[in-house]
Amino acid sequence: MPSRLHQKALESLGSRIVDGALPPGHVMLAEDLEAELGVSRSVVREAVRVLQSLGMVQSTKRVGIQVLPRSNWNPYDPLVIRWRLHSSDRGAQLRSLTEMRVAVEPMAAELAAEHAPEAVGEELHDIANKMRGTGQDARRFQQLDIRFHALVLAASGNEMFASLHDAVAEVLTGRREMGLTPSHPHEEGVQLHMDVAEAIALRRPAEARETMNEIMRATIDEIHLEWEGIPRDAPGS
């Protein structure tokens, strides 16, 4: 029960901050949140502790709990990503995550082809084969797709690339939940995953990079309308 109540409080506050219902500078009092959310002081305190760790609020004695601007938030945290994907800010969030993937994942595939153990290529090939066999099961395909891209990031041998796997998992999950993925996998997309796996297994870095870049560019083609016309943040905003 405490865990469920904590989640309820955290989701309520986090999603409202992201959507602007609780704007930067807004101050909340713990006792008011207790009454509003119908939870105990300890539950409010724990939810606020998590939001502080994300850079979303600051709690100060004799002042209260103040909402911080987005520039303070941790943009790579899965919670922040999930809330943004389910808010009016989803287009900008999809753009940021997709552009990050285009920049990082082709290089990760290249490095994996250069440095990953032989078993990694075999595992990637096995995952891609299972992706081909999922048929109409979009959820299962997504689970395998998450595993595939997480393994490529990890196999790069770059710990900063590897740490992005949760962010990639959130955007892949969010796209399916929002109906932004095909109802069943395209054979062309599955074949590209097979080709990445083969390039990594055969130690062909340039081929691995280019093929992963094709996957990422196809992703942009599928969802770019989600952020069309949305302005970018100005430097220092």
Say if residue 231 is exposed, middle or buried (CB neighbours under 10 Å; 0-12, 13-18, 19+): exposed
What's the pTM value of the predicted model, to 2 decimals?
Answer: 0.91
Amino acid found at 103:
A
By residue range, what is the domain housing residue 209? 78-226
Give me the residue label for tokens 């082809």. 113
pLDDT at 135: 78
**Residue 150 pLDDT more than 70?**
yes
Domain membership of residue 237 (yes or no) is: no
The chain-wide mean pLDDT, for the chain, equals: 94
Kindly report the number of other CB atoms within 10 A of residue 23's CB atom. Answer: 11
Residue-wise DSSP of 112-144: HHHHS-HHHHHHHHHHHHHHHTTTT-HHHHHHH
pLDDT at 184: 74
Please give the Cα distance from 105 to 4 (Å, whole number): 36
Domain membership of residue 231 (yes or no) is: no
CATH number, domain with residue 61: 1.10.10.10
What is the chain's alpha carbon radius of gyration, rounded to the nearest angstrom? Answer: 20
For 106-148, write each residue's pLDDT tens digit. Answer: 999 999 999 999 999 999 999 999 999 987 788 899 999 999 9
* Same domain as 212, residue 172: yes
The answer to whether 39 and 3 are in contact (CB under 8 A) is no
For 170-224, write each residue's pLDDT tens digit. Answer: 999 999 899 888 777 789 999 999 999 999 999 999 999 999 999 999 999 999 9
